[in-house]
Structure 1
């Protein structure tokens, strides 16, 4: 199982709910002003729902995953493609979460935690996949652990039969040959990332629409 796969279509609902939660403050503002300007409030709410739906569709079609014998790979991004590789050896904990609307489809969210992640956030999340995928991942993990243990035992057997002393001069030579790579992001790459980052998109676009609408409304009143 190494081909790229999309999440279950029910993931669209999750993406939509998350987007609406991010923009809930704008919906509240619209309802507060509904008495003074009903048309503007309705248009604002409609625009927020439309933007959230577009955002959910983009997220769904730009996020895939693949699973093979060695690792889990997460793919994301529109113009700037991102790959997150998680070897089974690094996985410490696998958790599952099942929203109430996942149950009829036997779908779960799989949260993967490694040693490099914080307690509050998982390194990877398979948002909406078949529940049987947990057993598959666990099976791959156990096989990798078994193979790793066999490799360690074989290495120990070899080291018992052959011991090589390290030469300090060779060690210094290796340290002298060490290369340090520094990579700087250009302003163009930073701008491209900011434009294509979906979280920034879903937050800033509605705010810009409200500012533009407010400006046009005041301009219209001044013309009167």
Structure 2
């Protein structure tokens, strides 16, 4: 047990500097350019002076963040001091630590250290988790051993005879996952923000030689090139994230390792898993692939949604049940759902129409473009598909709800993990004998199925109250 104060590895100075540089220079330069356009002050022509000042501040703040950050382990808790100008002290009892995960970026791997993420119970959404940016592997394992020993889990990190590799993502599957991801729109937004902030440094007037403003074909070609660049960048980013993705089970702990340039190791206890979700996107569904997520009593250990953790990013649908049973024997994943009654079909199709109705209305009223009415055809199909895929089912002590629009999500929940079950009715649903079933497994994380027959909803509610342990 380390009772003396410890500092992070000096490489943390560089990490802190890089983190501050990511947050500031684009905004500073954009503000500088805006002032230059409005004032025309010749002093503002020294556009690089604020940037140099910001670089100096980033280096000073990075060094002081490392200098003022100390941590130590006591008998039953962790003690952390940090803060550049205002010193903050934080005590974290080991019993409140819900998860410990590792990640190693390029800088950490150069000096043989890791970044440790410590997730605590009861953490507010806006409260930062504990991050040790650069500690040695031995110190990271010492922290994990101390936490497990205090919680009496008796997990030996070095033991290999009880370790089993459950899942490994193949390269061809990682490539298919990357090519069918929807991250291209985020890249396009980032490119647009970059171009809008730095348009003074980019010679757009030279592009007029190749692309004229009044040339529709040239505009379409330029748009296609931007889309292709965004798509390629999105594919590369997903490949770097999901390469070498493996799932290992060790006693009652699931360890997920992923990443090419920045390797991450995420550990979560089986006892903290509250539910299991299966997602089916339209393209991957055609090829028989789905993704599996865990809803666990912790934070976003993989920098994703709070309480969600990717277990299998891409897996054959016919292999999901056996793989999940290997990790979580209590769960029985299946595809036999009780479909919704036929009288709600039109309600699902109308909801889908409402989402796109505004587009053809605006284009017809202002531009007389009646061809946009063709958008209503795929909208009706999406609504009908949502109706056909939605459903509920009860098997023994497990409730499963399936719903969605483009991406269909199925959530499997054990009865003793469900925190609340709500049956609600609107006025229209009351006339039609329908209900909305909502199940909550964690605060802020709930799933629902709309327009369930009220007799079936009542049966689900009675099942939930009957012999609940």
Work out which of the residue numbers 140, 143, 151 in structure 2 matches 1:134. Answer: 140
TM-score when normalising by structure 1: 0.57
Q: Does 1:105 align with 2:105?
A: no
Does 2:25 match 1:26?
Answer: no
Gaps of 5+ in 2: 154-469
**Is the contact between residue 66 and residue 72 of structure 1 (CA under 8 Å) also seen in structure 2?**
yes
Q: Give the Cα–Cα distance (whole angstroms) in 2 for the partners of residues 80 and 106 of structure 1.
A: 31
Structure 1 residue 112: deviation in Å? 0.6
Partner secondary structure for residue 101 of structure 1:
helix
Q: 1:85 aligns to what? A: 91
Q: 1:74 aligns to what?
A: 80
Give 1:12 deviation, angstroms: 0.7
Shift of 1:123: 2.5
Partner of 2:246: none
**8 Å contact kept, 2:112–2:136:** yes
CA distance in 2, matches of 1:83, 1:33: 40
Q: Cα distance, 1:106 vs. partner?
A: 1.4
1:14 — aligned with what?
15
> Residue 117 of structure 1 aligns to a residue in which SS?
coil
Distance 2:106 2:34 in 1: 31
Asked if the contact 2:118–2:129 (Cα under 8 Å) also holds between the matched residues in 1, the reply is yes
Q: Aligned-pair distance for 1:145? A: 2.3
1:51 corresponds to = 57
| 1:69 CA drift (Å) | 3.3
Distance in 1 of aligned mates of 2:128 and 2:101? 9
Q: How far has the Cα of 1:122 moved from its partner?
A: 5.0
Q: Distance in 1 between matches of 2:101 and 2:16?
A: 20
Is 1:88–1:141's contact at 8 Å kept on the other side of the alignment?
Answer: yes
User: In the TM superposition, what whole-angstrom CA distance separates every residue of 1:138-183 from its partner, at most 9, and x where no partner exists?
Assistant: 2212221239xxxxxxxxxxxxxxxxxxxxxxxxxxxxxxxxxxxx
TM-score (norm 2): 0.29
User: What's the counterpart of residue 61 of structure 1?
Assistant: 67
Distance 2:137 2:53 in 1: 35
Q: CA RMSD in A?
A: 2.8
Question: Contact (CA 8 Å) 2:65, 2:84: kept in 1 or not?
Answer: no
Q: Does the CA contact (< 8 Å) of 2:61 and 2:84 recur in 1?
A: no
- 1:64-110 per-residue CA deviation (whole Å, 9 max, x = no partner) reads 11123322111013564321111211111001121111102111111
Q: Give the count of matched residue pairs.
A: 148
Residues of 2 paired with 1:79 and 1:48: CA distance? Answer: 18
SS at match of 1:74: strand
The structure whose RCO (Cα within 8 Å, separation 6+) is larger is: 1
CA contact (8 A) 1:34 1:40 kept: no
Q: Give the superposition deviation at 1:13.
A: 0.9
CA–CA distance in structure 1, aligned partners of residues 68 and 107 of structure 2: 23
Separation in 1 of the partners of 2:130 and 2:104?
16
Q: Residues of 1 paired with 2:64 and 2:121: CA distance?
A: 31
Map of 1:41 onto structure 2? 47
Q: Where is the strand percentage greater, Structure 1 or Structure 2?
A: 2
Determine the C-alpha separation between the residues in 2 that align with 1:56 and 1:81.
Answer: 15
